[in-house]
Structure 1
Amino acid sequence: MITGALLAAGVFLTVAAVLLDVRQDAWDRVRDASANLTLAVERDLSSEIRAIDLTLRAVAGLMARTGFEHSSADLREALVLERLSSSRYLDAVVILDEHGDAMFDTRQHILPTTVNFSEQDVFAAHRDRPDVGLFISAPYPSRLVDRLWTIGVSRRLSYPNGNFAGVVLAAVQVQDLQAAFEGMRLGSRGTMTLIREDGVVLARNPADARLLGRDLGSAGPVRQMQLARSGQFLAVAAIDGVERFYTYRHLDGAPLIFNVALAVSDIYDSWWRKAALISGLTGILVIAMLTMVIRLHRELARRKDAELATRRSETSFRLLAENSSDMVSHIDLVGRRLYVSPAAAEIFARPLEELMGRAALDDVAPEDRTFVQNSFRRLWRGERTITFEARILRPDGEQVWIEASARPLLNDATGKPEGYVTVARDVTDRKLAEARLTALARTDALTDLANRRVFDEALDREWHRARRNEAPLSLLLIDADRFKLFNDSYGHLAGDACLQRLADAAAEIGRRPADVVARYGGEEFAILLPKTGAADAGLLAEGLRAHIETLALPHEANPPAGVVTVSIGVATACPWPAPDCTPVALVAAADASLYRAKQSGRNRVVAAPDTVPMGSVR
């Protein structure tokens, strides 16, 4: 009896320990899977929000420079539509004037009726607070597109004096966000939710229109998520009273929180079924006093199941890695690749066999190697995740931009990294788009000349250089004669074509690397000529004036020439004798000369009588 009791007690304790271990394993797997899923979705959403914000900034900058109200509808549509492809969630860009009226929508050439947004938070937030920055609205039924639920992402528009000029609004359809969440296996009562940091629900899986826009800011789970940038915790949902395991992350660069919430009952559902089965068998074993052989058989069966689960887990990982467009790599501590997924062959333009065992830094462009190496050193010093962008060098010499994130593989005993896992994707197209937007921000859209902002920067730079080198600096201000009458007579399209011809002629004058030819405003151009004295500047100005007259562009409202002509004001500065003098003096002198040229009959060059400040040109 004593032996039987001890045997029964041993069987009972062994089975209890196994069940607790399996229960903990189930919990650990769910915790890690939830963290990885949340990280992946958060990075995707953060990237898309950054792309949308970049579009809003570009459109706002474009309006600040050129003023949309002065551009044709076709030109406005082309300038905005070329940015819509930057995000798969960006449905449209809408521009609201200072009263909240929609004056432009990329989904239609001309708005059929006036739609006013003045009462919506997406407009009122910017109108009432100049410092809002990027604002994300609560979901609302769109009045422009079939009452579809829409989220507005917006930025403020300002007049040059800083006053409120309206809002540029990116429309994101809720159904597109929810479609991205579909297909995720979350159990019968699991959820994925995107909320604002104040608790307003923006999107949810499973979808429930009744919850869109609902404020959960006072609910316990939301208050918990507001305490840190990321984390995991157990809580009872305020919506349906279900206890769930929450994994959340705040989006980078946006006031949003994404969370995955798995019902505790779903997490342990399989475990309860196994526990019931094993407990029943254990009861039979205890009652029947089975031999140690049966105990051993159960233990072996348990181990076999555990090994099978491990193999299945590894198989699932490889299946995901080998069918993903992102490249997954396992790198050892000296930087050699121990594993790369098939996507690496396309990114690096090398066979997988060549990449295996190869040092990862060998494929990084020389100018980025130190940066990448220092990034991985941060993992060794204790950081758990790094994200960086770098250029890689293909065998044919082509450089490709990648965006990568890396995590350390830690030794359980020492806590030190034993290697690294990286996930990378090709972002070359995005980098090229960013470069194009940067160039557009510094170029006049009509003439392809430098814009006023670039001219002001160059004037300040060359003024200080002229002072250091004691060299003269000349400025030509060119204005088309009677250009308003030209537009009235021939139309604005002809006026644009005329300005392009004048810009080409001006560009021929400023051909040296340091010369700057810019559209100064309207029909006025500026040419900045470093290391050019007054005499040479006057000759260049007269040559430009004569060349434009010989173009013989008809302008009957410009007597006596009857063709397009220009008036040019010339000024030369010697900055070094007067340290207190500023570039404004040079612009003022050239502008005064231009005024005299206009007053004295047009179609002529007038130079300032003296250099600015007074002094000899060396």
Structure 2
Amino acid sequence: MALIADWMLRRVVPLGALFAAALLTTVALVLLDARRDAWGQATNSTSNLARALERDLSAEMRSIDLALVAIKAILRDTEHGRISPELQRTLIQERVRSTRYLESVAVLDANGDQIFDSRGEVPHGAPNLADRDYFTVHRDRMDVGFFVSRPFRSRRSNIWSLGFSRRLAYADGRFAGVVMGAVRLDQLEAAAFTGLQLGPQGALTVFRQDGVILARSPNEEGQLGRDLSASPVVRQALTVPAGQYVTVAAVDGVRRMYAHRRLRDAPLMINVAMAVDDIYAAWWRKALVIGSIAIILVAIAVGMALLLQRALARRRLMELAARESEAGFRLLSENSNDVVSRMDATGRRLYLSPASARIFGRPIEELLARSTLDDVVPEDASLVRGNLLRLQAGQREIITTYRITRPDGSIAWLEASARAIIDEENGAVTGMVAVVRDITERKSEEEKLASLARTDGLTGLANRRCFDETLAKEWRRAMRDRTPLSLLLLDIDHFKLFNDAFGHPAGDACLRHVAHEVQAAVRRPADLAVRYGGEEIVLLLPNTVGLGAAMVAEQVRAAIESLGITHAGSGGIDHVTVSVGVATAIPSADAEPESLLAAADAALYRAKRTGRNRVAVTSEPISRAVAAGWAPLADA
């Protein structure tokens, strides 16, 4: 007993140091994992934001281009005498008002003189604009098409603007001038960039595809129009339509992670950037707190070791403490939640810890007779096999996440950290060691969070992001199968008056009641109810003909009316009602999914215009609805 006490007395301090080292190593691994998570979240955030902005701006650029094409047609009709100059001005002004970002439209003749301005009569002595790039590019080339100018200060209002132009030509093809739509940069930035969370040093930039800066957030006038085509950031962005990379910005020298995407319908690209320092700012704060706690714990451990060293002088008590400590360590080892596995150089299992039976659902003897790949689901087998081959080839360490099938048919997610055992003399791989952890519960929580990201928090319906993805998917499926696709667009009548009368909490409760009735109409797995925005709700019905969609719309309308929710009473409305627009299409390649929404919106507008609390079905083909250029969702 005395010999054991003396042995422990000599080793208590080294053991304390080992514990401190193990604790600090564990903290370092946790912090490194958190650092990787911070980077991964930033990568997903910038990529998703770039994708969303690209989708929105592409739609707006397409709208501006369609407006310019329509105005060219109006000018031709005026020239041929089919419409009067007064009607021409009215039609052009209507196109400007119906296009979200357009401030005005001007028409220049072949000399660069302004001959038309949608804001009013061209003032006497208006400056010649033949020096503007939106004029010269069409004068010098016939094949430009839709052109986006450099940022410029308007000579009339001294406001930073962008010019979007198309060429005008005589019947014989000679240059006749340009039609140019002006967009104010401050309005574009306010509508597209406001509310973005990119960190203190984050940046969002809109480039032309030749590298010229058109808009930037944060706004810096000195950068507008700057040509960055020679910078590494822009050169890399010009090589592929979309991507992510890390580099130092030529604008301000800040190291950032960039996500860029080209617009589909305009010669523009978007660059979303988060500063590397901002990405890791929260992690640094966490590391400081956790590191401080770890240092305190290490200090406590060292102090306890010193105290224990004194106590070991009482040898009998030390022997008892040693036996209890040994028993506790054995209990901890045998009840560990992680699997420790030893394999030979071919991947054959040689040893499995007791936790293996619980995690894999098989006795250890049976597991030792099975291959490592036998329990892996087929979809993940190639991943696990490839990682084993890399370890056999000499790679030091690999971390793999994969799934297994247990004997009862259940699926479990595992995270394995495997390391090759290498003979230092000849460099040959002699075996492998792996630590396997069950992360099924963590994966389940991640899936729940992903589901919440696609759900509207107030109504419990799907949100706008989920709708956009589902509409695109169902549109492609219906186009492939040549089946009808129906869409119901529902709007609560006079909802603003309801909120004004009863307050927003009551308005939220009303929305939830309406959403519940709409959700009740979802009878098939493919049907989708969505809170589109505000008080607008969409019901997407795949493989549903127009008559069936109209019947569903009437059921929903009647169900909501039967709720008897008291309204403000203004305009003769005593109870909450809804108006519903219905559109049905068999998708084709010459139409976009948004055309179905536009058609339903037009029908909704007709339902409201003809008295509200009714269902209206579009009578126009989808292709004609797109050509008509219907306005956005009708105002309640």
TM-score by length of 1: 0.55
Partner-residue secondary structure (3-state), 1:132: coil
Q: How many residues align?
A: 385
Encode CA deviations 1:319-376: one digit per residue, 9 max, x unaligned: 5796998362598xx99xxxxxxx98659997123327532398136589xxxxxxxx
Shift of 1:216: 1.1
The match for 1:326 is 464
2:541 counterpart (321, 345, 363): 363
Matched to 1:395, the amino acid is V
The match for 1:427 is 598
Which runs of structure 2 are paired with 1:354-393 in the superposition (5 Å)? 354-355=521-522, 358-360=525-527, 363-364=541-542
- Give the distance between the partners of 2:71 and 2:215, measured in 1 at CA: 26
Which runs of structure 2 are paired with 1:91-170 in the superposition (5 Å)? 91-144=103-156, 146-170=157-181
Q: Would the aligned equivalents of 1:133 and 1:155 in 2 still touch at CA under 8 Å?
A: yes
Q: Would the aligned equivalents of 1:403 and 1:424 in 2 still touch at CA under 8 Å?
A: no
Matched to 1:426, the amino acid is L
The match for 2:567 is none
Partner-residue secondary structure (3-state), 1:32: helix
- Residue 269, structure 1, aligned to residue 436, structure 2: no
The match for 1:351 is 518
Structure 1 residues 68 and 32: CA distance shift in structure 2, 3 A: farther
Which runs of structure 2 are paired with 1:172-183 in the superposition (5 Å)? 172-180=183-191, 181-183=193-195
Q: Would the aligned equivalents of 1:90 and 1:171 in 2 still touch at CA under 8 Å?
A: yes
Partner-residue secondary structure (3-state), 1:351: helix
The match for 2:552 is 395
Partner-residue secondary structure (3-state), 2:552: coil
RMSD over aligned Cα, in angstroms?
Answer: 4.3
Shift of 1:402: 9.7
- Give the distance between the partners of 1:363 and 1:324, measured in 2 at CA: 14
Moved more, 4-13 or 213-222: 4-13
Shift of 1:7: 1.8
- Give the distance between the partners of 1:219 and 1:365, measured in 2 at CA: 50
Matched to 1:177, the amino acid is L
Structure 1 residues 437 and 94: CA distance shift in structure 2, 3 A: farther
Which runs of structure 2 are paired with 1:482-561 in the superposition (5 Å)? none
- Give the distance between the partners of 1:83 and 1:124, measured in 2 at CA: 25
1:22 counterpart (18, 30, 34): 34
Which runs of structure 2 are paired with 1:409-428 in the superposition (5 Å)? 426-428=597-599
The match for 1:5 is 17
Which runs of structure 2 are paired with 1:62-77 in the superposition (5 Å)? 62-67=74-79, 72-77=84-89
Gap runs ≥5 in structure 2: 1-12, 305-324, 338-438, 475-487, 493-513, 529-539, 555-580, 588-592, 603-619, 630-636
Gap runs ≥5 in structure 1: 336-342, 369-390, 405-421, 441-618
Q: Would the aligned equivalents of 1:401 and 1:426 in 2 still touch at CA under 8 Å?
A: no
- Give the distance between the partners of 1:394 and 1:225, measured in 2 at CA: 50
1:259 counterpart (271, 275, 281): 271
- Give the distance between the partners of 2:621 and 2:142, measured in 1 at CA: 32
Encode CA deviations 1:149-202: one digit per residue, 9 max, x unaligned: 110000000101111011010111101111021221111110111110111111
Partner-residue secondary structure (3-state), 1:289: helix
Shift of 1:96: 0.7
Partner-residue secondary structure (3-state), 1:226: helix
- Give the distance between the partners of 1:234 and 1:403, measured in 2 at CA: 44
Shift of 1:102: 1.0
Structure 1 residues 439 and 222: CA distance shift in structure 2, 3 A: closer
Partner-residue secondary structure (3-state), 1:207: coil
Matched to 1:364, the amino acid is P
Moved more, 123-132 or 25-34: 25-34
Shift of 1:249: 0.6
Q: Would the aligned equivalents of 2:96 and 2:103 in 1 still touch at CA under 8 Å?
A: yes
Partner-residue secondary structure (3-state), 2:521: helix
Partner-residue secondary structure (3-state), 1:427: helix
Shift of 1:424: 11
- Residue 289, structure 1, aligned to residue 301, structure 2: yes
Structure 1 residues 194 and 92: CA distance shift in structure 2, 3 A: same
The match for 2:43 is 31
- Give the distance between the partners of 1:259 and 1:105, measured in 2 at CA: 33
- Give the distance between the partners of 2:34 and 2:251, measured in 1 at CA: 31
Which runs of structure 2 are paired with 1:557-572 in the superposition (5 Å)? none
Structure 1 residues 236 and 439: CA distance shift in structure 2, 3 A: closer
Shift of 1:262: 0.5
Matched to 1:168, the amino acid is V
- Give the distance between the partners of 2:549 and 2:206, measured in 1 at CA: 35
The match for 1:457 is none
Partner-residue secondary structure (3-state), 1:80: helix
Structure 1 residues 402 and 139: CA distance shift in structure 2, 3 A: farther
The match for 1:470 is none
The match for 2:259 is 247
The match for 1:502 is none
- Residue 206, structure 1, aligned to residue 344, structure 2: no
Encode CA deviations 1:194-246: one digit per residue, 9 max, x unaligned: 11011111111111111111111111101111011011110100011000010
Partner-residue secondary structure (3-state), 1:216: coil
Moved more, 393-402 or 240-249: 393-402
Q: Would the aligned equivalents of 2:160 and 2:184 in 1 still touch at CA under 8 Å?
A: yes
Partner-residue secondary structure (3-state), 1:90: coil
Q: Would the aligned equivalents of 1:363 and 1:394 in 2 still touch at CA under 8 Å?
A: no
